[in-house]
Chains A and B, each alone.
Chain A
């Protein structure tokens, strides 16, 4: 079955860096856009980034642009999120998700399925 497993979360000080990982299985990874979405504790969902199936097209939310880099390795069925200059407000569960469909302007439509998430805590 389709499975996404995130890892790499943890406690980091403000200004620090962290790299998140997402291992995909059960589908042809190289055929799909992939996305990162986060959820601050007790809060709603916030889209973070999309990366095209080849990795050639990448989109970021303004809240993370310039501080975050998404990449993928289709040979290893893996998705990464490198986060630098972390802020307290980046504290959240980070989910990777397979993106489906088409919304417009080259962006994917919806997210299905989602991984179980990995918690990033930014605190001094």
Chain B
């Protein structure tokens, strides 16, 4: 059971807009701690996608965006492409656990 809750899977057709949610609690996202997102392609290490809620590292397409509100955060992918098929993880800090916490991951399938 992950501290941050993500849907196990989402799917969409090429070109569609898709949202992946990440729900936390008052000891992590709701306490104001930032949320970060990672993309993990099959058989590879995770790669930073969004940091500090809504910032994209250089090289990440602007099709990817992030936001945070209350105890939740969202990753939005617009103009879905076949290469976006991957696992996505959110991460934050939890003051009760005194460490970083991850969501359980969301498997994105491009139909």
The interface of chain A, by Cβ under 8 A from chain B, is: 35, 37, 44-47, 50, 59-62, 95, 100-101, 103-105, 107, 109-117
- A116 near B45: Cβ-Cβ < 8 Å: yes
Provide the bound-state CA to CA distance between A109 and B57, in Å.
14
CB–CB B93/A103 < 8 A: yes
Is B61 interfacial (CB 8 A cutoff)?
no
Pull 24 A–B residue pairs with CB atoms less than 8 Å apart, ordered by A. A37-B100, A44-B104, A44-B105, A45-B46, A47-B102, A95-B45, A95-B46, A101-B51, A103-B33, A104-B95, A105-B93, A107-B100, A109-B52, A110-B34, A110-B52, A110-B91, A111-B36, A112-B51, A112-B57, A113-B48, A114-B45, A115-B45, A116-B44, A116-B45
Q: How far is the CA of A101 from the CA of B103 in the complex (A)?
A: 19
* Closest A residue to B87 using CB positions: A44
Given A46-B102, A61-B99, verify A101-B47 contact (CB < 8 Å).
no
Residues of A within 8 A of B38 (CB): 45, 111
On B, residues with C-beta under 8 Å from A are 2, 32-34, 36, 38, 44-48, 51-52, 57, 89, 91-93, 95, 97-105
Report whether A117 and B52 are in contact in the complex, using a CB–CB cutoff of 8 Å.
no
Does the CB pair B34–A109 fall under 8 Å? yes
B50 to A, closest residue via Cβ = A110
CB B51 to nearest CB in A, in angstroms, measures 5
How many angstroms between the C-alpha atoms of A105 and B2 in the bound complex? Answer: 21
